[in-house]
């Protein structure tokens, strides 16, 4: 791997920034010989406005910290899909929350989908949809290992919530192993 670019996008309040931080930390601290940069942007609204997080992972020092052409694009809102799903490289792995994002049926991008928010609600807390999504991403890609992501989750989430967050990650991971086919 020389350079891998990941963009996570959705709405404020969905944990997009935290998910990006978890990925960056997992790659740089819990994987061997990887550097990572993390950038974020969000609209003026605290919740509900557009939000994105970008992570660049490399075996070498990262000279340019912004995503140019993502290899992985995680989308958790329709607005984010409308903004980022155009003009993608055909090889980009696009992951959507299928209950919140309706892709263009005429689109030519490969899409993996998971009902992340629904699965999180079934666990009892919709707020962990981002963690469910990270588990799914680990199952359908080789960007960062599941082991490294779990270690990073435990280091990043509030004290006392680690076990629950790992359960949410596992739900997403198992869903990805079972249903992680392109749509």
Delimit the domains of the chain by residue range. Answer: 3-179
Q: Residue 50: its pLDDT value, please?
A: 81
Q: What is the CATH number of domain 3-179?
A: 3.40.920.10
Q: Can you state the angle between helices 162-179 and 129-140, rounded to 10 degrees?
A: 40
**C-beta atoms surrounding 111 within 10 Å:** 20
pLDDT at residue number 84: 92
Asked if 158 and 166 count as a contact pair (C-beta separation under 8 A), the reply is: no
Predicted pLDDT of residue 44: 59
Q: Which pLDDT score, from 0 to 100, does residue 182 have? A: 53
Per-residue pLDDT at 183:
47
Q: What is the pTM of this model?
A: 0.92
Give me the helices (H) in the chain, please.
16-29, 78-84, 116-123, 129-140, 146-156, 162-179
Q: What is the pLDDT of residue 173?
A: 98
Mean pLDDT per segment of 10 residues, for the chain of length 183 residues?
A: 90 93 95 86 66 94 91 96 90 95 83 96 96 98 96 96 97 93 53
64: how many CB neighbours lie within 10 A of its CB?
9
Residue recorded with tokens 């990650």: 169
Residue 106: both structure tokens together: 């005429």
Contact 73, 52 (CB under 8 A): no
């Amino acid at each position: 791997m020389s350079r891998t670019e990941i963009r996570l996008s959705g709405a404020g309040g969905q944990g997009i920034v935290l998910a990006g931080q978890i990925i960056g930390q997992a790659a740089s601290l819990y994987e061997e010989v990887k550097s990572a940069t993390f950038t974020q942007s969000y609209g003026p609204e605290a919740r509900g406005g557009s939000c994105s997080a970008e992570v660049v992972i490399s075996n070498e020092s990262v000279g340019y910290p912004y995503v140019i052409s993502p290899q992985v694009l995680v989308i958790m809102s329709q607005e984010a899909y409308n903004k980022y799903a155009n003009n993608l490289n055909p090889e980009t792995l696009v992951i959507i929350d299928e209950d919140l994002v309706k892709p263009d049926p005429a689109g030519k991008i490969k899409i993996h989908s998971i009902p992340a928010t629904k699965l999180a609600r079934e666990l009892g807390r919709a707020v962990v949809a981002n963690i469910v999504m990270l588990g799914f991403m680990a199952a359908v890609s080789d960007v960062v290992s599941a082991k490294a992501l779990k270690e990073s989750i435990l280091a990043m989430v509030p004290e006392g919530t680690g076990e629950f967050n790992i359960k949410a990650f596992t739900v997403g991971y198992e869903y990805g192993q079972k249903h992680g086919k392109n749509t």
